[in-house]
Amino acid sequence: MIAYLKGQILFFTEHGLVLTTAAGVGYEVFLPARLSSQLQTGQEVELYTYTVVREDVLDLYGFLSWAQRNTFSVLLTIPKVGPKLALAILDVFGPDKLQQIVTQEDASLLATVPGIGTKTAKKILLDLKDKLKIPSSSEVKNTGNNSVVQDALEALKNLGYASAEVEPLLTEIIQKEPECDVSMLIREVLRQKVKTQ
């Protein structure tokens, strides 16, 4: 699964953008409409991505934070909530606000999302109650170094780097900075790679 992308915005599509990486690979990424409106063609951007794989579909959905991406993946576990509706929810409410809505069982507020009626909103809230747990930054950092290194390695491989090329750097960095999260680890590897080029 592609979990992270860094690159330059080549152009925008109807529901997202095409991002080109340093390795010369272009990815089409679907985004919340509000996020698209904040970005510009040619801009360098880092996105946390979620890959939706089905029989005839392989789509990438991008977000500026891991919390947004995590919330998107949780929403997809709710019956009758597909990627488009999950994206619509996150276009209106951030993870913290959605957590608040779930805690307060505010179906009328959730029903303001296009495509969601009051009855559907109540069902979504009921399903989300035990599922929606947005990790804090400290919780993300404490999920274990092995998991962090593996996630960073997968992301770097998706950016075109070979495992043998970046694994030593990942090990070295995590030993020096054991509190590194995935994005910090990836940024540090990319920074060191640029220095050695």
Model pLDDT for residues 85-122, shown as the tens digit of each residue: 999 999 999 888 998 899 888 999 999 999 999 999 99
Q: In 3-state terms, what secondary structure has residue 180?
A: coil
Q: In 3-state terms, what secondary structure has residue 175?
A: helix
Residues 80 and 121 in one domain: yes
What's the whole-model pTM score?
0.64
Residues 82 and 30 in one domain: no
Phi, psi of 142 (to 5 degrees): -95, 15
Cα separation, 29 vs 151, whole angstroms: 19
CATH number, domain of 11, equals: 2.40.50.140
pLDDT tens profile 166-180: 888 888 888 777 777
Domain encompassing residue 179: 137-196
Residues 57 and 73 in one domain: no
Cα separation, 27 vs 128, whole angstroms: 31
Residues 124 and 76 in one domain: yes
pLDDT tens profile 118-167: 999 999 998 888 777 544 444 444 444 567 788 888 888 888 888 778 88
Number of domains in the chain: 3
Residues 72 and 50: beta-carbon distance below 8 Å: yes
**CB atoms < 10 A from the CB of 152, how many?**
28
pLDDT at 145: 54
CATH number, domain of 103, equals: 1.10.150.20
CATH number, domain of 175, equals: 1.10.8
